[in-house]
Chains A and B, each alone.
Chain A
Amino acid sequence: MSLVPVKAAEAPRKFDLAIVGAGPAGMAAAITARECGLSVLVVDENAAPGGQVFRAAELAGADPALARDMAPGLDLIARFRAFDITYRPGTSLWMLDPDTGTLSLARQGETMEVTADRILLATGAQERPVPIPGWTLPGVMSAGAAQIALKTAGMVPSGKVVLAGQGPLMWLLANQFIRAGVMPVLVETRTRPILRTALGAGGIFSGFGQLAKGIGLILKARQAGMRVISGARHLRAEGSARVQALRFEGGVEPCDTLLLHEGVMPSTHISMAIGLQHGWDARQLCWRPKLDVFGASSHARIAVAGDGAVIGGWEAAVAAGQLAALDAGLRLGRISRADRDFRAEASADALLQARALRPFLDALYAPSQEVLAPPEESTIICRCEEVTAGSLRWAAAIGATGPNQAKAYLRCGMGPCQGRLCGSTVAAVIAETRNVPVEEVGHFRPRAPYKPITVQELAGAQLGAERLS
C-alpha cells in the first residue's frame, strides 16, 4: 500500500478525509486513514490533541493529580503526532457544506476554505446543562469546566468546594482534587440504587474492568475522608454577587465554588446544522445522529464517530473512529470491502467491550425530571438571553410547539451560544408543558457561522478566493 505524502509547506486545500476534532475518535480515525493511504486533515479548536478526556495531556502528564488518568492518552497522542497527518490545532470550523465537501475554517484571525471527499465529525460530548436556581452566579461552574482548568493550567478552586450532581465524572474529579490537595464535599443527586440497577441493566460481567475502576474511585474518595451527601433534591445556588451556598431539601452547604454535573450528551451542533437525520435516544435522553455500524450518516459524504455519535467513553470512541476510517478507505477506493470488513473486526469487538457497562451507567445516573425541565418559574434556562422556565411555559401554553417557535417568541437559543447549552432544556420544558414526548417537539436548528467570526475575517476569506481565481 503506497502512502500519499502531504507536504505542509504546500498548504494543500484538498484532502481525501477531513476530520473535525482531535479527541480519541478523531486521532484514531486519522491514524487508521493514513494506514489506508488517505490524505488526512484534522482540524481542532484546542491547542493540542487529546479532546476533552485527554485535554492538554502532554502538559498534564507529569502532574501527580492527573498522571494516571492521562497515561492512556499519551500513547495515542504520540502515535497521532508521528503520522504524516495535516493537523491544524486552534482552528474553528465555522461552516460546512456537505454537498461540496467544503470546510470553512478560522484560525487566529484568518479564514480559509478546504475541501474533502469524505468528512468525519468527531466533535465529542458536552455536559448536560444543570439549570438550577442561581446557576448563573459567578462561582458556579460545570464540573467539567473545573477539570479542564486543572488539566490545562494545573489550577484548582480555592476555598470551600462543593461538587453537586451525579455521574462517573464526579468521582473522578473528586479523586483528582484530593490528589491536588483539595477536599471537596459531594452532594449527590443520584436516586437509583446501585445493586438493583446493575442487575436490571446487565453488562456487569463484560464491563467488570470499568466497574472495578469506578468502585475504586468511590472507595478512595471516601477513604480520604470526603463527605458525601446522598439523594439530594431541589438544589439551588445562593449568594448575592457570588455563590455562597448550595441549598437542597434538608440541608445547606456553604461554598466558594459550586461545581455542577448531570452527565454528558453528544455535541450535535454541527451534525444538526448540516441537516443530518437524528433520532431521540430514550436511554441517554438526547438526540443523536442516525448512523450505520461504520458511523456513516444520512449524508453520503459525512460520518460521525465518538461521543458526538453516542456516549460511550474514550475507548469506544477510538474503536468507532477506526471503523469510520476503514469505511472511508473503502468508499474512496483504497481498500476492498473484504479488507475493510476483515480489519474492522478487532475494532468492532473493542467497541462492544467498551460499551458493555453503558446501559448500567445510563440507568444509574439518569437525570431526574427537575434537572431536565426545571420546575421553578424564575430559573434561567437560556443563559445568553436570560429566558426563564416560566416564560418558556407561557410560550408553550400560547402556541410555541417546539424550540424553534419558542426562539421566535422569546429569543431563547438566539444568543451567542446558539442554543448549544439550553437546547435540551428548552425542548424538555415545552414537552412537559404540552404533555407530549420530547422527541415530538423537536430541537433547535443551528445555522452557520457555528462560531463567531469578524467581518474582517469574512472579508479576508473573500479576498483570498479572488486571489486564487
Chain B
Amino acid sequence: MFRTRPDHRPETVQIFVEGRPLMVPEGSSAAAAVLIAGLPGIRETAVSGSPRLPWCMMGVCFDCLAEIDGVANRQACMVPVVAGMRIARQHGAREVRR
C-alpha cells in the first residue's frame, strides 16, 4: 500500500483502475496507480494463479503485466498515466480473443 504526498506533487491525472476513477500524481506509471489504488494484486500468474504486485518498477521483472486501455500483457511500470487511461488486472495466461 502506498500513499501520495499532494503537498509536494499537486498535479494530478484522473485514470480508472478496475473501472473506478482515481486521481494519481502526474508522472505516475500505470503500475504506480495500481499501488496507490491498493489492489491486492496487479495480475495472477499464468502458472499457479498466485497474485503479484510490481517487483522492480523499471521494466526488468515483468511482474506488473496488466491490461491497459484494452491491451493485455503491457508492462504497467513502463506506461506513464494519461487522463482517462483504463487499467485492469490481468488473470492468468492470455487467451486469443474469439
Encoded as 1 (CB less than 8 Å from any A CB) or 0, chain B from 75 to 98 comes to: 101101000000000000000000
Within 8 A of B (CB), among A141-160: 141-142, 144-146, 148-149, 152-159
Residues A59 and B54 in contact in the complex (CB < 8 Å), given A155-B5, A267-B60: no
Q: Is the CB of B25 within 8 A of A242?
A: no
Within 8 A of B (CB), among A367-385: 383-385
B38 to chain A, nearest CB (A): 9
Within 8 Å by CB of B8, from A62, A146, A452, lies A62
**What residues on B are CB-neighbors of A86 within 8 Å?**
none
Q: Is the CB of B32 within 8 A of A416?
A: no
State the CA gap A297–B78 with chains docked (Å).
29
Whether B21 is near chain A, meaning CB under 8 Å from some CB there, is no
Residue ID in chain A nearest B79 by CB atoms: A90
Q: Is the CB of B25 within 8 A of A154?
A: yes
Q: Is the CB of A141 within 8 A of B8?
A: no
Q: Is the CB of B61 within 8 A of A383?
A: yes
**What residues on B are CB-neighbors of A156 within 8 Å?**
2-3, 5
Within 8 Å by CB of A242, from B27, B40, B59, B78, lies B40
**What residues on A are CB-neighbors of B60 within 8 Å?**
126-127, 267, 417, 420-421
**Contacts between chains A and B (CB distance < 8 A), count:** 135
Q: Which applies to chain A's interface (DSSP): helix, strand, loop or mixed?
A: loop
B92 to chain A, nearest CB (A): 13
Residues A154 and B4 in contact in the complex (CB < 8 Å), given A144-B57, A145-B54, A417-B61: yes
**What residues on B are CB-neighbors of A451 within 8 Å?**
59, 75
Within 8 A of B (CB), among A439-469: 451-452, 454
A444 to chain B, nearest CB (A): 14
State the CA gap A443–B62 with chains docked (Å).
20
Q: Is the CB of A153 within 8 A of B25?
A: yes
Encoded as 1 (CB less than 8 Å from any B CB) or 0, chain A from 398 to 437 comes to: 0000000000000000011100110000000000000000
**What residues on A are CB-neighbors of B35 within 8 Å?**
149, 155
Residue ID in chain A nearest B51 by CB atoms: A138
Residues A155 and B53 in contact in the complex (CB < 8 Å), given A126-B60, A415-B62: no
A92 to chain B, nearest CB (A): 8
State the CA gap A47–B58 with chains docked (Å).
12
State the CA gap A144–B54 with chains docked (Å).
12
Q: Is the CB of A153 within 8 A of B8?
A: no
Q: Is the CB of B58 within 8 A of A144?
A: yes
Residues A157 and B25 in contact in the complex (CB < 8 Å), given A64-B8, A386-B47: no
Whether A65 is near chain B, meaning CB under 8 Å from some CB there, is yes
B69 to chain A, nearest CB (A): 10
**Interface residues of B, Cβ cutoff 8 Å to A:** 1-5, 8-9, 24-29, 32, 35-36, 40-41, 45-48, 50-63, 65, 71, 73, 75, 77-78, 80
Q: List 16 A-B contacts (CB under 8 A).
A: A45-B59, A136-B50, A139-B1, A140-B55, A142-B55, A144-B56, A145-B56, A145-B57, A153-B24, A155-B3, A156-B5, A256-B1, A257-B2, A267-B60, A420-B61, A451-B75
6 closest cross-chain pairs (CB), A and B: A154-B9, A145-B57, A416-B62, A153-B28, A138-B53, A417-B62
